[in-house]
Amino acid sequence: ESAMEFLRIARGETYHNIVLSMKASNPKVMVQAYRLLIQQMDAEFGECYPLHLGVTEAGDGEDGRVKSAAGIGTLLEDGIGDTIRVSLTEDPEFEIPVCKDLVKRYEGSQRVRELESQKTLKSDSLTNRLPDILPPRGLPYNPFEYKRRKTFAISNIGENHVPVVIADLSKLENITPASLESIGYKYDATTDKWNISDAAADYIFTGKPELNFALPGTLKVITWPNYSELASDKEKYLPIYDAKGFVESDTKNASLNFVMLDCFSDDTTINDFTFLDELANDTSVVLCLSSTNKNAMQSIRSMFVELMKRKIENPVIITTDSNWQTPDEHLIHYSTEAGALLLDGFGDGICFGITSESYKAQDSTNQDTTGRNYSSNSSVEQFINSTAFSILQATRTRISKTEYISCPSCGRTLFDLQETTAKIRNVTNHLKGVKIAIMGCIVNGPGEMADADFGYVGSGVGKITLYRGKEVVKKNIDSDIAVAELINLLKESDAWVEPSLS
């Protein structure tokens, strides 16, 4: 409404050289704000002004890139946005490559036409063509307000469960207990127990026969039906079918079956709705949606719309493969393709893969992105698993670590923001679910950290002010002791736990 007020004043003076920005540190809020602004401009003025996209105070490292890509990428996928800026708490030269990786996904592509407003989407009108961008009218969900799609639960998938992560280990020639370290499980031979991290995958896809070692108690395997049928533990080894194979199978798993459903890909010969009625609301079926279309996200979103219109409430796994070449490109791809759906309340799990050609091109020992890295990814599988949990964190659908809201620094910043951010991360990165803002100045800091639980804000030369939520708790303390005082504040607020020694 504030933006609209300024527009009314400018239009009253016949001034139109305006570019609007509706940035927020929360991608969910940012996406909804831009969409709502467009609707308001169109309704009141009959035209829209150019938009500058960005997730403000996104932070640094992998998380800053994921958060930026989820927010900016979602809107670019909607056909929204004219300029972009990625705000990282890093040297500015590290921001430009992220921007380029985002926009090059749309180079040479034509804008997808919007359906005429008077038309509604009909099931029988959908074929294996490129789906149109759906207008906001007549949708079974509200694109301006987050609400998770209603599903029933199958095991730990769907309904009120957090989205699950399925790790694709099918490209490993030999899966051993050591292989599971890359997805959050570490075996301790001394105690004969598995140590499980907060970012441990819930399922693994192997595409292989039963493994020759005992798995962690919480981990289950997804494999092809001919292998799952021979497994000694049918509760541990679960089949994945294509839709036709599932319908025709006589040996379905009694409790849980994964069923792949292609979404409007040009190369499929099966109508996308052929088996929907037979799969609909089968309480053992988790759908795995994917598409080979260039506009894959829109294709999968169209299928979600169809499921909702048909009142099909099976849980859904969002599945996407990447054919890009660098870790940076893969990270942008996953964050955009899955993040855009998760931000609209779609998806009860995610499974990220990488094409065989791209997998062979990867550095098997270093999967770090450019710029600052906090995850030392020594394998493709570890990188993808780490990225999956970062995307769930950025979309606020599954919290597995501390979240940092930090600005990119400017001339008003009176301390080394990058060094301080790294220092605070180092002592607080074990505080799962806590949101900490690290802001360079008192001018913009308090307003732009409104989403944080705690704030560390520069208030003068060598002076820091600490916040609990929006409340000033400690004012103008010396920067030399400010990090220690932040820890004391966390302890006083019952938000502190001692870090694990393991």
The whole-angstrom distance between residue 380's C-alpha and the CA centroid of its chain comes to 18
Q: Which CATH class is domain 164-394?
A: alpha beta
Spell out, as residue ranges, where the chain has pLDDT lower than 50.
Answer: 111-133, 269-270
Tell me the backbone φ, ψ of residue 476, rounded to 5 degrees.
55, 50
Q: What is the pLDDT at residue 120?
A: 36
What would the pLDDT profile of 211-237 be if each residue is shown by its tens digit?
A: 999 999 999 999 999 999 999 999 999
**Residues 403-492, CATH architecture:** 2-Layer Sandwich (3.30)
Domain with CATH 3.30.413.10 in the chain: 403-492
Cβ proximity of 214 and 236 under 8 Å: no
Domain with CATH 3.20.20.20 in the chain: 2-108
Domain 2-108: which CATH number of 3.20.20.20, 3.40.50.2300, 3.40.50.1980, 3.60.20.40: 3.20.20.20
Tokens of 141: 């969900």
pTM tops 0.85: yes
In terms of C-beta density within 10 A (0-12 exposed, 13-18 middle, 19 or more buried), how is residue 192 classed? exposed
Q: Which residues contact 239 (CB under 8 A, 6 or more apart)?
A: 222, 223, 224, 225, 228, 229, 252, 253, 257, 258
